[in-house]
Structure 1
């Protein structure tokens, strides 16, 4: 069964017809040509497919496109303002926070979303005071909050440093 849906992807409204079993990841990559979200494990375990849906990070391989009808979807491609990269993107470059780069778009999206989560007062497993109003992003907090994004090249030290620099500014 197919259904017509509309998504706002990286600031542009996109309408497409998809099989109701199509994941958001496959709709983005195969139907819309948005390839910054990567297909890694296709089981929600690696985070390469991470996108923001209505401001929250989502493994796009685990959500159906039809369930996101009308949603605002932001990929790593949509973070930049024209030619001006997002601060997290710039920091990943300056800290050499990638090797092969396959996981990088998902890492960057996850970093942007998790910084918002911390700003909004969402604690993590390692947060000392769950009732605190603020959750400063220590190295331990960053590592925990980014634990759903795997890097097969093991660039974690530089990834954490890149995020830490943006979180401090």
Structure 2
């Protein structure tokens, strides 16, 4: 949800009310503003995530997960960095809300949040590699002077 209003107190009241009724997280101010308006471009979010994980130069893949992946907990499997894994999977969960094509793969990797292994991290990285290869132009909420209700959507 994006809240746009000049009245800071009004925004604070709305958020307090929403948080009391729904499980939500405040992601802070939008980072992608311009004179043309507010751009919600998940491609930028994905690119930032690729930089953060060191995968910016990776080769894209055609699918978010290997067919018949057989991802499971291996006995004595090498552990991945739990904090990094949880952070990455949390961001992938966020992306899955607007990219239903990754929902299954994200669901699979999220099963291993309690004790991620290297193979699980590799599967999460594959989802990122898939996202790098898909087109995602985003949505521009244009600056305007009217109070008309406008509808925006982001779909593939």
TM range (shorter): under 0.3
- Which protein, 1 or 2, shows the higher relative CO under an 8 Å CA cutoff with sep ≥ 6? 2
Higher helix proportion (structure 1 or 2)? 2
TM-score by length of 2: 0.28
- The structure whose Rg is larger is 2
Higher strand proportion (structure 1 or 2)? 1
